[in-house]
Amino acid sequence: MLFVSIIEVMEWCVSNRPITASKVRSADPTIRADLHTISPEQKLVDVAQPTIAKVKRIPFAKIGFTLSLLFSVGAGAFLGRIVPINALDWGGLLTGRKPEEVLMEGLGRKLERPYQILVMGVDRVLEAPIGSPESFNGRSDSMLLIRFDPDDRSVNILSIPRDTQVPIPNYGVVKINAANVYGGAQLAQEVVSEKLNGVEIDRYVRLDTSGLSALVDALGGVEVNVPKRMKYVDKTQKLNIDLYPGLQTLNGEQAEGFARYRHDEEGDLGRIKRQQIVLKALKAKIANPSIVLHLPDLINIMQKHVDSSLSFDEMMAISTFSLTLKPEQIQSSSLKGRPSDPNEFRFSYWIASPDDVDQAIIGKFKTKSNSSSF
C-alpha cells in the first residue's frame, strides 16, 4: 500500500505540471513556420521568453520523485530498524503468502508453541482507580478459553456462560463469574480448569468492560449488523443501550452495549453470540495494515484496561499469529448445557453436564490427562 501511494503521488505530479510558454510555442505550428520572418521587436520578446519559461517551469515531476524517494528511504529505514531482514519470510512471499501477513509476522514475534489462555471481561470496580489491581476484581461478565496453536495454524475459542454452576471451596455452589471476585484471576483459572476436565491454562487476560469501549473508539468504530431493537438501562454499570436494527458502525459505547445486552428470550446465550460478533468485527478492523497508525492509542488502552500474566513478547507473538489467520482457521463454540428449572435452585444457573464438557474439550484443548495427544 505504501508503494501504491507513492506511485499515485508521482502520477499526480506529472499529470498536473503547469502549461509553460515553451509548451505553447512548440505546440503551435504557425510559430515554427514563421521563425524566419521574425521582426527585431519580436526578437527582443523571444530573448525574454526563456527567462520567463525558467521562472514559470517548476519541475513538479522531479519534486514529486524526490519526495517519494525520500519517503521510501525513510520508511525503509524505519522498517529496517524494527524489522530485521532475516525476520521476514522471503520463502513464503515467493510461494504466495500475502505481503501484509509476512510484514505483520516480521513486526511481531513468532509463536513457537501452543498457548491456552483464559480471557475474562470483568465488571470494573467503579470505586477503584482505572488500571489499578482492585479495578479488575469485579464479576466476569464474559469468559473465553482460547487455544492458539501454531502447529496446525488454528484458534479454538470456547465461550463459558457466566451463570455456569460450579462449586468453590469455602463459598459453596455459585455461578462461575463469582470466582474472580472471591479469589482474583488465580482462583478463576483453578475453577475453570476444574470444571472443564482439568484443562490446562497457561496464562490469563482480564479486560475491564470499559476497555472494550475504548478499544473500539481507538479503531474508529466497528461495523455490526444489529438484528433487532435493543433498549436497556443499567445504572450500576452506567450502561445506556439504545440501538436500532440494521448494518451500522458502532462507537465504543454502542459496541459495549450490544455485546453486553441480555434482556431478551436468548438470555446469556444470545449475549455470547453478540460478543462473538463484536470480536469478529474487531478482528476484521485490526487485520487492516493501517492498524500501525493506531498503535500508540492501543498501547495506552492496554496499560489502563488490561491485566494479564502474558509477557510483552508473548502478547506480540499471539497478536501477530492471530492477524495472519484466515477466518476458517478460527473456530468458536459455547459450552452446552441447560438452564436450571425455576424451582430447582435458589438462583438460576447454567447446568453443564459431564457430556457437555467432554464435547467442548476433547480434541480441541489440552488437559492434564491428555497432554501426550497434543
pLDDT at 361: 96
pTM of the model: 0.64
* CB neighbour list of residue 204: distance below 8 Å, 6 or more residues apart: 117, 118, 119, 120, 185, 188, 189, 308, 309
Cite the DSSP H helix spans in the chain. 2-15, 21-27, 29-33, 40-56, 60-82, 90-94, 99-107, 179-195, 209-218, 252-260, 267-286, 295-305, 312-323, 354-361
**Long-range Cβ contacts of 369-373 (<8 Å, 24+ apart):** 369/197, 369/198, 371/200
pLDDT of residue 139: 92
Q: How far is CA 277 from CA 111, 284, 339, 354, in A?
A: 26, 11, 23, 28
DSSP 49-84: HHHHHHHH---HHHHHHHHHHHHHHHHHHHHHHHS-
**What local confidence, expressed as pLDDT, does residue 88 receive?**
58
- What sign does the CA torsion over 62, 63, 68, 71 have? positive
CA 329 to chain centre: 16
Res 94: pLDDT: 58
- By CB atoms closer than 10 A (0-12, 13-18, 19+), residue 374 is middle
Please tell me the predicted confidence (pLDDT) of residue 105. Answer: 59
SS3 166: strand
Amino acid identity at 302: M
Q: Is 115 helix (H, G, I), strand (E, B) or coil?
A: strand
Query: Which residue in this structure is represented by grid cell 441480555?
Result: 262
Strand partners, 231: 242
* Cell numbers that stand for 2 in this block: 505504501
Q: Report yes or no: 141 and 123 within 8 Å, Cβ to Cβ.
A: yes
Chunk the chain into consecutive blocks of 10 residues (it has 374) and report each block's average pLDDT, rounded to whole numbers. 31 37 42 46 49 46 45 43 52 59 62 94 84 86 93 93 94 96 95 96 90 85 92 77 93 89 76 83 76 70 85 83 83 93 92 96 90 54
Contact 340, 267 (CB under 8 A): no
Intervals of CATH 3.40.630.190 along the chain: 118-373
CATH topology of domain 118-373: Aminopeptidase (3.40.630)
Separation between Cα atoms, residue 84 and residue 365, nearest integer Å: 34
- Say what the pLDDT of residue 171 is: 94
pLDDT value, residue 264: 78
How confident is the model at residue 87, as a pLDDT? 54
Instruction: Say what the pLDDT of residue 78 is.
Output: 41
Question: With 0-12 CB in 10 A as exposed, 13-18 as middle and 19+ as buried, what is 79?
Answer: middle
Q: What is the per-residue pLDDT for 1?
A: 35
